[in-house]
Structure 1
């Protein structure tokens, strides 16, 4: 009887850990798919798209997660295959300096213009 109880407990523990692992993988998969741009649909993520490209990317990401790759490794694989444009949130590197710094420069330039106008009025 004790052996049966131990086996039932082991079964329950392993089944819950598998469910938790699948849940974590689904969350990771959805996070990655929401950050990947569909190359067919303009401005739509792979998560939201129903195109053939999106379907194939969903399968690729799923297989990469099952292979044990981390999020950054999957993004790197997709960048190598499709370029930096495929990621909605690109990394800061020599090719994306303008993308990251232009909004800051425009904000500072606009602030300087507004500050100068306000000082001229006084």
Structure 2
């Protein structure tokens, strides 16, 4: 892959922290311009994409990536709402079964 293609590919995967929802490739903010220079220098110094991403994550956190890696804490954030719905559904079901049994016992 050519150096320019590689740069653009990295720019598209990195979020501009100044611009709302834009990649570095789409942004012209001072932050984006400075970070593009850093990335270009790292590519010139023969660093791999993995090393560049690792540097950016260490410095700015997972938020810098448009597709952050799946970790246990992000998995919990996605799973908790469904877990709450499931537990809530069980509680509602249990309440109605209990009320139905109580109602049947009163008829006898």
Higher relative contact order (CA 8 A, sep 6+): 2
Contact map agreement 1:61 1:74 (CA 8 A) in 2: yes
TM-score (norm 2): 0.67
Hey, what does 1:67 align to over in structure 2?
45
**Structure 1: any 5+ residue segments left out of the alignment?**
1-22, 110-122
Q: Which of residues 3, 28, 31 in structure 2 aligns to 1:50? A: 28
Gaps of 5+ in 2: 87-108
Q: Match of 2:59?
A: 81
Mapped to 1, the partners of 2:3 and 2:74 lie a distance apart of 30
Q: Which protein is bigger by CA-based radius of gyration?
A: 2
Instruction: Identify the residue that residue 91 of structure 1 maps to in structure 2.
Output: 69
Q: CA RMSD in A?
A: 1.8
Once residues 43 and 53 of structure 1 are traced to their aligned partners in structure 2, the CA distance between those partners, rounded to angstroms, is: 14
CA distance in 1, matches of 2:64, 2:8: 16
- Cα distance per residue 1:71-99 (max 9 Å; x no partner): 11111100000111010011122333246
Aligned counterparts of 2:40 and 2:34: Cα–Cα separation in 1: 10
Separation in 2, partners of 1:68, 1:95: 33
Alpha-carbon distance in 1 for matches of 2:46, 2:40:
10
